Structure 1
């Protein structure tokens, strides 16, 4: 199989192989606890081989965060022909639990929790997290401004921040078994978002 790959394809194959192994190790040991030796063992490669593709562990973390960010962008753009509070409430709640939450999404949420924790200790990981948000936030503002053109850029940014807090908080809560009724949550989310996106001229 690999013999038929060109150099670029082999590089991509190896990088994906390492990232897949790293995701397993980071889920098990955390970003702080997992070392390159452990990642190499799971990837069935030597540590030296890994360093051909990633300069250090932070570079592996960056690749994982970039991948998760791409998935988030795809999630945002899916069905993004219109933005409506009711639809946003349903989408936010879809981040909670299976069957709405796919195994990949659940793993991504858990990994992002690890990233956030590591960012409090590692300035480079904090930069990676900020860079990811800097990709997502403008895209979300663009989508929202299209459907709410009467809001100023500042009002749009504030509403995107509210949505980010709601969605990320919901995603992080998905790792817990909560007794809250999904139907009642959906109703409350709708109320919150209807208020957030009402034509309120007095934001200031």
Structure 2
């Protein structure tokens, strides 16, 4: 059994990173659907054939990009308490604005492409599972059913807020914070 060459693996990973970075720029500019492999190759300063050495398809590039965005979000979720949600929602905090925009592109592409729709479903499952683990950590007294319901409501609030970032906020963040705190209190109260 031969050992992998660490220098070669590092070069391979670096080239993948460069392709992902070029893909992010192309997808932000043209959308996933309209961005061509030729456009991506030009942006990465590679030939299309060279890109196919690292990714078997445009969908594979999208999948790796989504995986990286979700990995970052999962790390953030692990480090965030459920009590922090009202503040994040009220002031419309985004972990990464570019990632938010790219995930909107992914959502649009998922309506046309079943492979990307599967990626979205897998990403959602990963995020939902981690959020449930966080709620269980912060509220061990809650039943699994109650946790799933609370996480579903939190997901709707969070994802809705991500879409609302596209428009000017129409209520004061301070007032929204109070409302979100009330929702949080309702969601995470001890079950009767």
Same fold (TM > 0.5): yes
Report the Cα distance in structure 1 between the residues aligned to 2:107 and 2:174, rounded to whole angstroms: 30
Corresponding position: 1:89 with 2:59: no
Question: What's the offset of the Cα at 1:127?
Answer: 0.5
Residue segments in structure 2 that go unaligned for 5+ positions in a row: 1-5
Deviations 1:131-184 (A, max 9, x none): 111212111111111221221111101111111111111122112223321111
Query: Secondary structure of the equivalent of 1:6?
Result: helix
1:35-60 Cα offsets, whole Å, 9 max, x none, are: 11111111111101100011111001
Q: Which residue of 2 aligns with 1:24?
A: 25
Partner of 2:67: 66
Q: Is the 8 A contact 2:78 2:130 kept in 1?
A: no
In the comparison of the two structures, how many residue pairs are matched? 187
Find the aligned partners of 1:178 and 1:141 in 2 and give their Cα distance.
29
Where does 1:26-175 land on structure 2 (aligned, <5 Å)?
26-78=27-79, 80=80, 82-84=81-83, 87-94=84-91, 96=92, 100-101=93-94, 105-175=96-166
What is the deviation of 1:25?
0.7
How far is 1:23 from its partner?
A: 0.6
User: 1:83-133: per-residue Cα shift (whole Å, max 9, x none)?
Assistant: 32xx22113345x2xxx546xx11111111111111111000000111111
8 Å Cα contact 1:110/1:175 also seen in 2:
no
TM-score normalised by the chain length of structure 1: 0.86
TM-score (norm. length: structure 2): 0.91
Q: Could you tell me how far 1:77 is from its partner in structure 2?
A: 1.9
- How far apart in 2 are the matches of 1:45 and 1:177? 40
